[in-house]
Structure 1
Amino acid sequence: MLKPILWPVLAPSLLFAVGIGAILPVMVLGALQLGSSASFAAAIVGIMGAVSLAATVPAGMLIDRLGDFRAMLVATATAVVVLGGIVAAFIWDSPASLILYTVGLMLFAPVSDVWNLARQAVVAEVMPPQDLAKAMTALGGTQRVGNLVGPIVGAGLMLIFPLWSVFVLSALAAVAAIIIMALPIARIPGYPDRGSAGTEASAHAGDGADISKDPTLAEEVAGHPHKPPRPRLEVRWKAVVLVGISIIALTVARSAQPVVIQLWGIDIGLRESSISLLIAFGAGLELVFMFLGAYIKDHLGRVATLVACLTIFGSGFVVMVLVPSLSGMVIAVAIMAVGNGLGAGVNMTIGADLSPAIGRARFLGIWAIFSNGGKLGGPALISLVITLASLRFGILFPGLFAILGAVWVLIWAKQIGLPGRMRRG
């Protein structure tokens, strides 16, 4: 079932996810080590979200032009260079190190976006509709495995080596992903890796009758033989906006989760390696509930999955505030993991459900605005709330916002019209 995407998408995605999973628990800790305040350390993650938001649509257009696999290769190679710069910020150890570190993370954000959009476009294009939810869940599962393996390996490294060794691990994982994508086994038979000019030209060539029947289109193609007209995206934009608001709530919670765990862990006196292992514990639980999430997406529908994910995930933040202790933190992380595991791949699945057959990469770039908006809003709002109020209020905010997102998508479920309960005939 998943064989067509195993080597070209899932295997390199797993390696890339291990690299990201390794650095995720130390992004805030790295800033603190370089002399940042707690509020600015949280804001750095928000800055990454701002850069991602600004680069979202250009990333989709870049993928549309380069082709999916070429874009993945370019993004991975760029990630290696950026991670090398981040390592240099630690080794250099100067007053400008924090600036270099921040700039490196800002550059890493759009690189990661290109990778994620390209792999999502490949899966949406290659997999048949009946297997799409399972494929997107498997794709989301690679991120969860990365969030499990990466922090565990990173914690082991930090027991022996400095914190920057985790970024070296991430760069090596990206290099391994490049090697796999270059292997013959990673090629999908019959799948052209062309940009929009190639794919859309072939689409028009295979539909000559439509060109002959449409004088305007025929005139445009004749006037621009090397650059066919970019087709209009046939999308239900009202549904996109309505469900996109709940996706913002989900990504606010997801981007806030590692930030609040790191800040709260430092606040109650945990070591960096212990915080990394705690995040790995949550990622392991997510893997367990990921399979239940796949079943819910296929049999109960996308909305039911999103509601369960947001409600349970958001409750974990509330528990962390209500039980201010190490045991409370462990319970809260477990609750978050259950909710986030149920929602594995739900964002990508809904994006694929709403995406058009022509111009899919362009649409997914637009669709990613919602998730990248959440990546910006989560850490930025936490930083603001911590500055104006306290750390506890900063933790509570994303949890309540996620629960409101669940209520929102329930209210508008009929207008959104996503695939629902599977009926047996």
Structure 2
Amino acid sequence: MTSPGSSSASLDPGTRRMLLRFAPMIYGPTLLFGLGEGALLPLLPVIAAAQGASVAQAALIASVIVVARMIGNLPAGWIVTRIGERYTMAIAGVLALAGGFGILFAPNLAVLAVAVFGIGLCASAFGLARHAFMTTRVPLAYRARALSVLGGSFRLGMFVGPFVSAVLLTVFGGESATVWFFIAMLAALILLVLVGRDPEEELRSEGALPTDKRPRIEDDVADDTGESTTGSIPLPEERGVFRTMWQFRGVLARLGLTTATLSAVRQARVYLLPLWGVSLMLDAEAIALIVGITGALEFALFYTSGQVMDRWGRVWAAVPSMVLMGGAFAGLAFTHNLSGAIGWFIVAAVIVGIGNGVSSGILMTIGADVAPPDNPAPFLGSWRLLTDAGGAASPLLIAGVTALASLPVATAVIGAIGLFGAIGFWRFVPRYIPHPPQPKRR
């Protein structure tokens, strides 16, 4: 019998088959998108500067993609509901392809900003379509592992992408090669999405899934007023995005805002760790090495998160993750002037990497757990809007608190948010999400 802590090499055959079926349709395109985006994002300020942008303008153009991702979630939910996940992913890929050409041939900063904004909108639609697809196709017993692999696929792409960009810059000597690489990844993504067979049909033909496409739900629907439930609140009829937001106001206000704190702490690490290294007067190579170790830990642990959530419940990944990251940032805030400040910085960075690694896929998994099973896209649009808003607010909070007080105070605030989020997960996850059933051993 496989132990709870076993690695992906010891997957039971049912899980392995389940995950492999999603590779051509979901994991492959996700990896390709992550590779392209990971290669392109670091060069956006450089491309903007080549168009004559100031430092502030270059930073603004680079941040446009984050804003577009956030505001694109609601219309993406509407689109997925009407044309389906596969066509949404394909259309988003085509439009992002047009955005790539826009970046390549932009005559001025305005066109460049529009192209970047369009790519952000498409990334939001593509991400929501993947999320909705997995929500309706993956059996509950495998859900966390399947979504953790999805998150790991994207993390791998984002991790490797900058290195690909560095190689392309060295070989070709210009940013256009990276943009062409982004375009090539999108073209391959579109091809996979359009020609890949629906894994749901493959699994059903093998008898691994029931013949009913959607889970059966009850006939009666009640508004989500925040009372305790044992899973997602049924929603049998098609409803608009804003009506769905009102219907699920209780879970969005409680569990949704709690997951926004996780998104905020995750995004904070991207800014806080390099800033902390700079404040300790470390050179760029040392900072890059420490941050790289953190990223490697995050990627190495992505499947562990899925195992923990599927076998012991979502709360056992969410709470430790927030305690580790929140505690690391809170403790780091008091080490800046100590004699061993650099050592404490390395320890904190490692703990943050472990904490983020064991939460891989958790935002998508919890969202899928509480989404209406027959039509999850409108709800997931609202869910992803909250989580993206948490991530977008984090750098603004860090900048504001640092300007008003100091970097250690900003770090302490992020730590407090993480610990507060841990309390929220401990309270609300058992309230809304039942312990997942165990997959049968074969």
- TM-score relative to the length of structure 1: 0.76
1:373 aligns with 2:384: no
Instruction: Find the partner of 1:362 among 373, 378, 396.
Output: 378
Matched ranges for 1:12-411 at <5 A:
12-26=29-43, 36-37=54-55, 47-88=64-105, 97=109, 100-160=111-171, 161-162=173-174, 165-185=177-197, 188-189=200-201, 230-231=238-239, 237-261=249-273, 268=281, 270-271=283-284, 279-318=291-330, 322-323=335-336, 330-391=346-407, 393-411=409-427
> In the TM superposition, what is the alpha-carbon distance from 1:23 to its structure 2 partner?
3.6
Distance (Å, rounded) in 1 between the aligned partners of 2:326 and 2:92: 32
Cα offsets for 1:184-203 (capped at 9, x unmatched):
45665289xxxxxxxxxx99
Distance (Å, rounded) in 2 between the aligned partners of 1:44 and 1:348: 27
Cα offsets for 1:246-280 (capped at 9, x unmatched):
21111112233334455556674655x88766655
User: Contact conserved, 1:62 with 1:71, CA < 8 A, in 2?
Assistant: yes
Counting aligned pairs with the same residue, the percent is 26
User: Contact conserved, 1:312 with 1:336, CA < 8 A, in 2?
Assistant: yes
Question: Which is further off, 135-144 or 19-28?
Answer: 19-28
Partner of 2:12: none
Distance (Å, rounded) in 2 between the aligned partners of 1:26 and 1:328: 31
CA 1:101–1:281 in structure 2 vs 1: closer, same or farther (change >3 Å)? farther
> In the TM superposition, what is the alpha-carbon distance from 1:67 to its structure 2 partner?
1.1
User: Contact conserved, 1:236 with 1:354, CA < 8 A, in 2?
Assistant: no
CA 1:106–1:16 in structure 2 vs 1: closer, same or farther (change >3 Å)? same
User: Contact conserved, 2:21 with 2:202, CA < 8 A, in 1?
Assistant: no
> In the TM superposition, what is the alpha-carbon distance from 1:347 to its structure 2 partner?
0.7
Distance (Å, rounded) in 2 between the aligned partners of 1:189 and 1:183: 14
Distance (Å, rounded) in 2 between the aligned partners of 1:158 and 1:269: 26
Distance (Å, rounded) in 2 between the aligned partners of 1:62 and 1:282: 36
> In the TM superposition, what is the alpha-carbon distance from 1:182 to its structure 2 partner?
2.9
Distance (Å, rounded) in 2 between the aligned partners of 1:190 and 1:60: 26
- In structure 1, the residue corresponding to 2:91 is in which secondary structure? helix
The structure with more helix, counted as a fraction of residues: 1
User: Contact conserved, 2:318 with 2:422, CA < 8 A, in 1?
Assistant: yes
Partner of 1:222: none
Question: Which is further off, 379-388 or 258-267?
Answer: 258-267
Distance (Å, rounded) in 1 between the aligned partners of 2:304 and 2:134: 21
CA 1:170–1:142 in structure 2 vs 1: closer, same or farther (change >3 Å)? same
User: Structure 1: which amino acid aligns with 2:375?
Assistant: G
User: Structure 2: which amino acid aligns with 1:240?
Assistant: L
User: Contact conserved, 2:95 with 2:118, CA < 8 A, in 1?
Assistant: no
Question: Which is further off, 399-408 or 262-271?
Answer: 262-271
CA 1:264–1:109 in structure 2 vs 1: closer, same or farther (change >3 Å)? farther
> In the TM superposition, what is the alpha-carbon distance from 1:377 to its structure 2 partner?
1.0
Question: Which is further off, 282-291 or 9-18?
Answer: 282-291
- In structure 2, the residue corresponding to 1:283 is in which secondary structure? helix
> In the TM superposition, what is the alpha-carbon distance from 1:412 to its structure 2 partner?
3.8
User: Contact conserved, 1:133 with 1:298, CA < 8 A, in 2?
Assistant: yes
Cα offsets for 1:13-42 (capped at 9, x unmatched):
11111222334555567667865547x776
| Number of residues of Structure 1 aligned to a counterpart in Structure 2 | 386
CA 1:8–1:406 in structure 2 vs 1: closer, same or farther (change >3 Å)? same
Distance (Å, rounded) in 2 between the aligned partners of 1:104 and 1:256: 26
- In structure 2, the residue corresponding to 1:2 is in which secondary structure? helix
CA 1:165–1:125 in structure 2 vs 1: closer, same or farther (change >3 Å)? same
Segments of 5+ residues of structure 1 without an aligned counterpart are: 192-201, 211-227
Distance (Å, rounded) in 2 between the aligned partners of 1:385 and 1:32: 28
Question: Which is further off, 381-390 or 55-64?
Answer: 381-390
Distance (Å, rounded) in 1 between the aligned partners of 2:20 and 2:398: 41
Partner of 1:216: none
CA 1:162–1:393 in structure 2 vs 1: closer, same or farther (change >3 Å)? farther
Distance (Å, rounded) in 2 between the aligned partners of 1:378 and 1:130: 33
Distance (Å, rounded) in 1 between the aligned partners of 2:344 and 2:112: 32
Cα offsets for 1:374-395 (capped at 9, x unmatched):
1321233234334444555555
User: Structure 2: which amino acid aligns with 1:116?
Assistant: G
Higher relative contact order (CA 8 A, sep 6+): 1
User: Contact conserved, 2:147 with 2:361, CA < 8 A, in 1?
Assistant: yes
Measured on the aligned residues, the alpha-carbon RMSD in Å equals 3.9
